[in-house]
Structure 1
Amino acid sequence: MRNFFKEFKSFAIKGNMIDLAIGIIIGTAFNNVVNTLVSKIIMPPLSLMTDDVNLSNKKWVLREASEKFEEVAIGYGELIEALVDFCIIALTIFVMVKFINRFKEKAEDPANKDVETPKNIALLSSMEKLLQEQNNILKNKK
């Protein structure tokens, strides 16, 4: 049991766990922003274009409500809103990842002097140069 807690502590303290927690918190906040964007900014003009049809109220009634039974309906309007939410989130994440990858590629290029190269990439680059020099020396000795 002590080993289990030791492993969990090492897992929880690692940067990946903290990065994951930060990502979840930011993702939750971002979800609220996108929901508001869709429901308050995108859907009202869409509703005007469709003669004041509110998509979230659209449903396909399978059974009408009566004294004995509740209404049974498929709410396809909410599905459409959820799909719009998903598309906006997916597009935004795609643009952000593309933007971040552009800077990451510049930072990982040791020849690029505009961006400071991370120490691990610079170290690997210098090790590569040393190995190439060593190989050239060994080739010349033969």
Structure 2
Amino acid sequence: MLQEFKEFALKGNMVDLAVGVIIGAAFGGLVNSIVKDIITPIIGLITGGIDFSNMFVQLSGQPQPTLNAAREAGATIAYGNFLTLLINFLIIAWVLFMVIKLMNSLKRKQEEAPAPELPRDQVLLTEIRDLLAKQQKA
């Protein structure tokens, strides 16, 4: 059983999947930083200083000045956090779309490339094989 698990875990697909998950997590952190540190401030500058991280609707209790205080006071909808996560998702989806589009383009080019010509001796051997197969059928 241990041997079977070892064979399963060390198959190329499992290792590739593990590498993909690790790179994906690192990429997610990078996208979070891009949104938090670059895109959100630019959107805030364009829209007059809007800070997504502090956007909320308090459903219960007295109105509070910050999101953390509002959450402590009761039910709160933090739609600013949702907007940030939505921007993160759209960036990741766009980048993945572009990567898949590039991979498909490279795959199509590879499929369209002409097959390399066989050396003369292999062509002759193939012809001899085909002639012998015809003679055996007759």
Is the shorter-chain TM-score for this pair beyond 0.5, marking a shared fold? yes
Q: 1:12 and 2:9 equivalent?
A: yes
Identity of aligned residues (%): 39
The alpha-carbon distance between structure 1 residues 65 and 43, as it changes in their structure 2 partners (threshold 3 A), is same
Letter in 2 for 1:79: F
Mapped to 2, the partners of 1:7 and 1:30 lie a distance apart of 32
SS in 2 for 1:64: coil
In the TM superposition, what whole-angstrom CA distance separates every residue of 1:109-138 from its partner, at most 9, and x where no partner exists? Answer: 45166xxxxxxxxxxxxxxxx8xxx6xx87
Letter in 2 for 1:43: T
Alignment of 1:46-125 (within 5 A): 46-64=43-61, 70-109=73-112, 111=114
- Consecutive unaligned residues of structure 1, counting only runs of 5 or more, are 114-129
Mapped to 1, the partners of 2:115 and 2:82 lie a distance apart of 47
Deviation of the 1:10 alpha carbon: 1.2
Letter in 2 for 1:14: K
Larger radius of gyration: 2
Q: Where in structure 1 do 4 or more consecutive aligned residues deviate above 4 Å?
A: none
Mapped to 2, the partners of 1:13 and 1:43 lie a distance apart of 42
Letter in 2 for 1:33: L
Letter in 2 for 1:47: G
- Consecutive unaligned residues of structure 2, counting only runs of 5 or more, are 64-71, 117-125
Q: How large is the Cα RMSD of the aligned pairs?
A: 2.6
Deviation of the 1:8 alpha carbon: 1.3
Letter in 2 for 1:84: I
Q: 1:32 and 2:9 equivalent?
A: no
Q: Contact conserved, 1:64 with 1:71, CA < 8 A, in 2?
A: yes
Q: Which has the higher contact order (CA 8 A, sep 6+)?
A: 2
Mapped to 2, the partners of 1:9 and 1:65 lie a distance apart of 59
